[in-house]
Structure 1
Amino acid sequence: MTHARRLWEEGRQPGREVAALGAAASLTVAVLDLWLTDDVGLLFDLTFVALCVALALSVRPADFFTVGVMPPLLLVGVFVLVAVSRPGVLGHPEDGTVQAVITGMSQHSVALVVGYLLCLAVLFVRQRAVSAVPDTRRTPAR
């Protein structure tokens, strides 16, 4: 007897591909937000939260750890690149790269916390769903 696959059972992408997609998408949104508003703001925050959920839904179960640690690393990576090129966007114009990254992380901490919690919640639900479905490959032959 087969059951209909649910949304949280569909993810089949390898962790490396999901990580690369997350990095590319978050950098693209940061650049788009800078281009449109000359700031990393609400557009980036909302997209970051949605991206965290989408990545958690798309990864295969064997690579849950990769996505589970990814949201803070994505945010730091994006802010390092932004701070190197335009430190005044994240902090004061006279701030160094490290100070601009710290300021950016604190200004976008709500998006990080919400995105991270949703990501972990989706991974938890997916883990429960995967462990509840019997694996027919391990059924002994009669």
Structure 2
Amino acid sequence: MKQKNGWSMLILRIVLGVTFLIHGVAKFQMGLGNVAGWFESIGIMGFLGYVVSVIELVGGIALLLGIGTKLISALIALVMLGAIFTAKLSIGFIAPGGYELDLALLAMAVVLVINGSQLFSLDNKLFGSSKENTN
């Protein structure tokens, strides 16, 4: 059972990492000033656009490498909660641009916060299994 759980957590970590890496790259390509401006246009402090962009880009890379999985996943969960409650909730669950994907990504991040993911992770190679669940 532990082996299956390890592979499951690896799949979640990789999919979440790729997803946020791509979202982060997209934000950097569109220009962080534009991201900050969009944040301000929906009533959010513009500097949070920079913060979210960095979390997505660096967090995606960290998840792919298996560095700080629980911490990065917690940050991503906060980003998803912010996205749902500030930009998506009023649109609806399944409407175009709704929060269904955000909710799924939030759930993936929370599972990784709870379980971690050590299979093929740099954390496991560098520090062993002392802090994170061995699953």
TM-score, normalised relative to structure 1: 0.29
Q: Rg: which structure is higher?
A: 1
Under a length normalisation based on structure 2, what TM-score does the superposition of the two structures give?
A: 0.30
